[in-house]
Chains A and B, each alone.
Chain A
Amino acid sequence: MPSTIPALPFYLLAAAIVGGGVMTLFSRNVVHAAFWLLEVMVAVSGLFLLLSAEFIALVQLLVYAGAVAVLTLFTVMLTLRRREDALRPLDASLAAAGLAIVFGIVTAVAIGGFSPAVAKMPAAAPGIVQFGGELITRWALPFEVASVVLLIALVGAVWWSGGEDEDR
């Protein structure tokens, strides 16, 4: 297990993430935005691998790059009547930009106040085996609650998006 994180892959992934995020928000075409979001998700998964969180990286690929991206694309295509509907105005908002910039500055100041003494990384990190062991022992109850949440979300999503005949 490496005890440091090399700068080159980090900055490559960071550029992919930030660039993809900007392209997601500023592409005129909704379908292109969904594909840029997919690119961001894959890059974030690489970042998780860099942080030696293998299981989370795999789940990120499966859930976000797999399921969420496909779901988003399906919804985009189901809500477009004509091809031209995919092109949208940029929806620029000065107030939202101001709020986001204020948030960024405040967070940057808070991070800057963080002492660099904690920047040293512990060499050892537990692997995917320890993660699984902990998940079904110490985290068993949240794990089961999570499965119930997913079941309810599944039923609710089917119910909400169901056919016309059960219109309320």
Chain B
Amino acid sequence: MSITVGLREFLILSAVLFALGLYGALSKKSAIMILMAVELMTNAVNIALLAMNRFLTPMLMTGQFFAAFIMVVSAAEIGLGLALVLALYRRTQTVEVDRIDRLKG
């Protein structure tokens, strides 16, 4: 196996995944699908962080710790987000974000 990949390939993969998640988060009408797209974006960021960490400063492990803390925040976000979706569903019987417009004057 002589063909290898470098940092650039990882960063391009991360950018593609982030763009996919961005499209999903902006276009989806279901609150659950939006949260899933946000998770895709978080994973893209973690790929970029860990690739940078491995290729540039592997001994410091800063990227690994940042990725770990991003996972903590992301787990809290998805837990709270889905709880919010459930609470909204119980009150409005819908998860469509364009039908949750009670603040509209």
Indicate, yes or no, whether A interacts with B: yes
| A interface residues with partner B (beta carbon < 8 Å) | 4-8, 10-11, 14, 17-18, 21-22, 24-25, 30, 33-34, 37, 40-41, 44, 47-48, 51-53, 55-56, 59-60, 63-64, 67-68, 71-72, 74-76, 78-79, 88-89, 91-93, 95-97, 99-101, 103-104, 107-108, 111-112, 114, 116, 118-122, 124-126, 130-131, 134-135, 139, 142, 146, 149-150, 152-154, 156-158, 160-161, 164
Contact in complex: A139, B32 (CB < 8 Å): no
Asked if B82 is at the interface (CB within 8 A of a chain A CB), the reply is yes
Interface size class of B (residues with CB under 8 A): 35 or more
B14 to nearest A CB, angstroms?
A: 9
Chain A residue at smallest Cβ distance from B98 = A91
B91 to nearest A CB, angstroms?
A: 8
Q: In the complex, what residues of A have CB within 8 A of residue B15's CB?
A: 103-104, 107-108, 111
Contact in complex: A156, B83 (CB < 8 Å): yes
Contact in complex: A91, B76 (CB < 8 Å): no
Q: In the complex, what residues of A have CB within 8 A of residue B19's CB?
A: 100-101, 103-104, 107
A152 to nearest B CB, angstroms?
A: 8
Contact in complex: B21, A21 (CB < 8 Å): yes
Asked if B100 is at the interface (CB within 8 A of a chain A CB), the reply is no
| Chain B 5-21 near chain A by CB (<8 Å), digits 1 or 0 | 11111111101111111
| B interface residues with partner A (beta carbon < 8 Å) | 1, 3-13, 15-24, 26-30, 32-33, 35-37, 39-40, 43, 46-47, 50-51, 53-56, 58-59, 61, 64-65, 67-69, 71-73, 75-80, 82-87, 89-90, 95
Q: In the complex, what residues of B have CB within 8 A of residue A89's CB?
A: 29
Q: In the complex, what residues of B have CB within 8 A of residue A101's CB?
A: 19
* A-B residue pairs in contact (CB < 8 Å), sample of 8: A47-B10, A56-B64, A72-B78, A96-B26, A99-B26, A101-B19, A104-B15, A152-B76
Contact in complex: B68, A122 (CB < 8 Å): no
Bound together, the chains give a CA A64 to CA B61 distance in angstroms of: 21
